[in-house]
Amino acid sequence: MKKRAFTVAVVMLSIINIVSAVEVPQKLMVPPLAFDDTSITVIWEKPNNYADVVSYNVYIEGSLAGNTKKLFYNATDLNAATPYSFYVTAVDASGKESAPSNKVIPSTPAEAKVFDVTKYGAVGDCKTLNTKAIQKAIDECTKGGIVLIPEGTFLSGALFLKSDMTLQIDGTLRGSDNAADYPLTSKRFPYYASGNNFMGLINAYTETYGSLKNIKICGKGIINGGSDVVGSVTGHKNTILGNNQVAASEGDDSDRADMVVIKGVDGFYIGGLTFYNPAMHTIFITYSKNITVNGINVSTYDIHNADGINVCTSDTAYIFDSTIEAGDDCFNFNAGVGEPGVKENFPDKNIRIFNCVAKRGHGGVVFGSFTAAWFENFLVEDCVFDGTDRGLRFKTGKNQGGGARNIICRDIEIKNILKEAIFFDSTYGSSYPSGGPGQFKDITVKNVTCANTKNYGIYINGLPEKQHTNIELINITIDGAKKGGAFLKNCNNCTFENVVFKNVPKNWVIDPNSTTELAFNNCDPKP
C-alpha cells in the first residue's frame, strides 16, 4: 500500500507540473537579411498561452547569452563565417523556464569587401555634391560588398542601389535641396492617377517585381533629406526640397519625393539609422517581399505628409524595435486604391509589427486608406502609441474597395490620444474609380489599455451597404475618454469581452438601427 501511495503521489505531482509548465516560445527565426559578419538578430513569437511569461532567455551554442522582455535579440561580437546555434525559452515570475523553442543555426557571412565612398572622391563637408562619386562606388560594389559612407556629412542627389549589396551609413547622408538632382520618374503604384513622383534620395527601384534582390541599408548614422524650413513657418510644412519639387512640377504638391524608395525588391533590410526631413514620406516600400525593419528612429513630425514607414502591396515583413514620430501616419500600410487596385489584386499580407513606439503623427499603426486588395494576416503586438491622433487606425471608404481581415492586435499601450484610441471607419474619401465599399472583418484587438483620449476610446463606423463584421475587442480598458467609451454604428456580429470604461461621460453610444448581433460579456458598465 505504501508503494502504491508513493506511485500515486508521483503521478499527481507530474500532472501538476504539466499543468503549471511554462509554454514554449514559437517560431524562432532569423528575419530576412538580419545578419552580417559579426552579428545575427533572431525573433520569435509568444507561446500560445503567455499570461505567466515575464521574459525570455536566449541561448547561443547552448549557453545563456541574455534575458529580455522583448521578442527579438541582437547577438553581436560574433566571428565571421561561423555557424551559431540559437534557441529561446520563456520564463515566468518565479524563474521557471519552458522547454527550448525550435533551434536555428544561421551562419555569419565572411567579412565583406568595403567600398568607401571617400576613395571615389566623395567629401563629407556638407558642401560638395557627391552624387556621382557615391553612385560610382555603388556601381563598382561587388556581390555581397558594402558601400560605406563614413563619418562626415555627405551631400547627394538621388542614388540607385543594386542587388546583393549593403549601403552602410555611419556618418550623415544629406539630401540636396535642388529638385534637378532627383528624376521625376518614380511610380509608387502604376495606377496612381497623380502620375510620377520625384525619385528619393536612396532608391532600390525596379518595375519588374522581384528582379532586385538582397539589399541592405544600415549603419549607426543619419539620413537627412535636406534643409528644413525655418523662420515664421509653423506646424506641418514642406522642406526646402519639397517646395522646390512642387515648383519644378508646376505646383503639384503630390509629386514630392519619398526619401527612401523601395520597389520590386525580394529581400530588403533597413536598420539602425535615424531619419530627418523627407520631402514627403520617409520610407516607402511597395511591390516587395521578405522585408526586415530593425531599430530605426524617424523624427519627422513637422513635415507635411511625412509618414514614417509605408509598406504597400507587399508580402512578408517584420518591423520591430523602431520609434517613429511622424508628420502623418507612423507605421502605415496600403493595398491599392479603387477599381484598379481591386483588379490588380495585390494584397498587403503576412506582416508583423512588434516592440515599436509611435509618438504624435496621425496614427500609430494605420491600415489604409488604400485598402483595395486587402490587408491579410497581420500581427501587431507589444507596442506603445503615445500622443498620436489615433492609436490603432483602420480607415477606408465607399469607393476604396477591399479592406482588412485576419488581423490580430494585442498587448498594446495607447495614451494621450488626440482623437480616438481604437478606430474603424469607412468614411475616408477616394477620387479614383470605385472599387466598391471597403470593409473591416475578422479582427481581434485584445489586452489594450487606453488612457487620456480626447474623443471615443472605441469607434466603429461602417457603411450601411458594407458593415464591419466579426470584430472582437477583449480585455480593453478605456480610462479618460472625453467624448465616451465606445461609438458603434453599421457593424454586426461583433464581440466585446471584459471591456472596462473609467472616467468617461458616456459609456456606450450604439445606433440601434444599424447594429445587430452584438455580444457583451463581462463589460463594465454593461450597455
- Cα separation, 260 vs 203, in Å, equals 6
C-alpha cell, 246: 512642387
Whether the CB-CB separation of 418 and 387 falls below 8 Å is answered with yes
pLDDT confidence of residue 207: 87
Helix, strand, or coil (residue 15): helix
- Cα separation, 329 vs 366, in Å, equals 7
**Within its chain, how far is the Cα of 61 from the centroid?**
31
- Cα separation, 114 vs 129, in Å, equals 22
Q: Is it true that the peptide bond before 369 is cis, omega within 30 degrees of 0?
A: yes
**Within its chain, how far is the Cα of 296 from the centroid?**
10
Pairing, β 72-75 against β 40-45: antiparallel
C-alpha cell, 260: 527612401
- Cα separation, 243 vs 259, in Å, equals 14
pLDDT confidence of residue 236: 80
Pairing, β 53-60 against β 86-92: antiparallel
Q: Is it true that the peptide bond before 527 is cis, omega within 30 degrees of 0?
A: no
Beta bridge partners of 363: 329
Residue numbers of the chain with a pLDDT score lower than 70: 1-20, 190-194, 230-235, 430
pLDDT confidence of residue 191: 57
pLDDT confidence of residue 432: 75
- Cα separation, 418 vs 128, in Å, equals 43
Beta bridge partners of 317: 291, 351
pLDDT confidence of residue 61: 98
Domains and CATH numbers, the chain: 23-110 (2.60.40.10), 112-327 (2.160.20.10), 333-527 (2.160.20.10)
